[in-house]
Structure 1
Amino acid sequence: MDFNLTTALVTVGQLFIGALYVYGGLNHFGPAAEKIVPVLTARGVPMPRQSLYAASVFQVACGACLMLGIAVVPAAIGLVVFTLAASLVMVNFWDLPPGETRDLLQGVFASNVAIIGGLLVVIAQVL
């Protein structure tokens, strides 16, 4: 079997992006939930703890699919939608006055946009 650099790079990229989601999702079942649930409550998310856990299970499952190369396109599409929704709910820098917190959240939002871009590249490689 010949070495294919493109395939190797896509595989490593899927592993890294998938790991980001698996790690983040699993983290929501620990102490991080106590910081996230009040934010979800303040943003009017119904059943905030249950919503967090359901979204986290989805996040972990889709991330694992990317890492394992299983149902890559549906998993990546799911993570695009998840990341966009989570960014709009949790990273609302536009509602904050100018300052350090707004700048930080604006950077997080930009990073999420870049991650969405990476997911779109994964989808394009698989199609």
Structure 2
Amino acid sequence: MPETPPRYDDVGRALSRLALAAVFVSGGRHVWQHPDGPAQGAENFLKRCRRAVPLLDRFTDRQLVRANAAVHMTAGAALAAGIAPAASASALVGSLVPTTLAAFPFWTQPEGPQRARQQGDFLKNLALAGGLLAVVVSEGRHSRGAPR
């Protein structure tokens, strides 16, 4: 039986997954190799998290930041490879929320360039989350055999 050529929407979804995944694999790798800066930046956020979730007291800030980096790398690689894309994208969204809140709390900054930079980075992560949610919805629909 001849192989059916891929549909344009299949190619588009694959390219979208690759573009999204590249951000997480690259960023996760960098944080894994250099966790001290991100751990220091997440310190205040993690203090608040520890009050709500005492289990986190077992881990250092550095360990938690590296665990998050591991999620970004593994789920990003799975997303790029098309392995369980909806689950991979869901894991990335779940990891991106605390990452964004910890790294870019622009609302705590006075008006000025630092606040503007953090707000811009916060909004970029919001856009990434939107792209990941589109993957969840799109891949979920296609995996159930719904009409394309």
TM-score where L is the length of structure 2 = 0.80
Find out whether 1:77 has 2:77 as its counterpart: no
Range 16-25 or range 1-10, more displaced: 1-10
RMSD, aligned CA: 1.4
Find out whether 1:9 has 2:12 as its counterpart: yes
CA drift of 1:81 comes to 1.2
Unaligned runs of 5+ in 1: none
**1:65 partner SS:** helix
Count of residue pairs brought into register by the alignment: 126
CA distance in 2, matches of 1:7, 1:50: 38
CA distance in 1, matches of 2:82, 2:133: 15
AA in 2 matched with 1:63:
G
**Superposed counterparts of 1:1-127, under 5 Å:** 1-31=4-34, 33-43=35-45, 44=47, 46=57, 47-127=60-140
Range 39-48 or range 101-110, more displaced: 39-48
CA distance in 2, matches of 1:30, 1:105: 23
Residues 1:42 and 1:73: Cα distance change in structure 2 (over 3 Å): same
AA in 2 matched with 1:37:
A
CA drift of 1:34 comes to 2.7
CA drift of 1:24 comes to 0.5
CA distance in 2, matches of 1:95, 1:74: 33
Contact 2:32–2:66 (8 Å) recurs in 1: yes
Range 34-43 or range 10-19, more displaced: 34-43
TM-score where L is the length of structure 1 = 0.92
Contact 2:41–2:102 (8 Å) recurs in 1: no
CA distance in 2, matches of 1:40, 1:111: 18
Indicate the structure (1 or 2) with the bigger Cα radius of gyration.
2
AA in 2 matched with 1:21:
F
Unaligned runs of 5+ in 2: 50-56, 141-148
**1:70 partner SS:** coil
